[in-house]
Structure 1
Amino acid sequence: MKLVPLFDRVVLKQLVAEETTASGIVLPGQAKEKPSQAEVVAVGPGGVVDGKEIKMQVKVGDKVIYSKYAGTEVELDKEEYIVVKQNDILAVIE
């Protein structure tokens, strides 16, 4: 199965959370903050959304930072993905 986003939607796969702090302290499961960094795995075609032309500015393989509470979490083939609108993506990591 494959997720194919519509309009200005983007499918993200969350990057792994850090398990140790910069000073070397190992974090237990509950203390790990959900990362807001992800890799783009699928991009919608863009098009006209609410009467405005939307051009997609991210591509598959980009590493991005997205809004903390954005999107819808989806599980497919035992993998977890997040489907967000393009405007919920804050930056591309280069």
Structure 2
Amino acid sequence: MAKRLIPSINRVLVEKIVPPSKTNAGILLPEKTTKLNSGKVVAVGPGARDRNGNLIPVSVKEGDVVLLPEYGGTEVKLGDKEYHLFRDDDILGTLHE
């Protein structure tokens, strides 16, 4: 049985997206063009509470593709997969096609 991590408070579990290092035609891409730091949201916490006890929900949902800061996050290994935990306010934005 695989373990499933449910983040606490306003944490977001992200699986980083590794961009391809070459095109379909076999052309190698320079490292600068493949450096977009993005990931897919795997799980989100319930959110944080304000001073009055009201729940402030997390701004992203499972399945969203998000832009991540260059540094930060906590590395988590579940089985043979590697994930990263970020606070909701550390996520820079959501990517849409």
TM-score by length of 2: 0.77
Which secondary structure state, in structure 2, belongs to the residue aligned with residue 92 of structure 1?
A: strand
Structure 1: distance between partners of 2:35 and 2:4? 24
Match of 2:37 in 1: 36
Contact residue 40 and residue 59 of structure 1 kept, 8 A: yes
Match of 1:86 in 2: 88
Structure 2: distance between partners of 1:79 and 1:34? 20
The letter of the residue matching 1:92 is T
The letter of the residue matching 2:46 is P
Instruction: Give per-residue Cα distances to partners, 1:1-46, cap 9 Å, x unaligned.
Output: 111100000000011232127xx3256xxx6866510000000000
Structure exhibiting the larger radius of gyration computed from Cα positions: 2
Contact residue 14 and residue 35 of structure 1 kept, 8 A: no
Deviation of the 1:57 alpha carbon: 1.0
Find the partner of 2:28 among 22, 25, 30. Answer: 25
Counterparts of 1:1-94 in structure 2, within 5 Å, are 1-20=3-22, 24-25=27-28, 35-48=36-49, 51=51, 54-94=56-96
The letter of the residue matching 2:93 is A
Moved over 4 A (4+): 31-35
Q: Percent identity?
A: 36
How large is the RMSD of aligned CA atoms in angstroms? 2.3
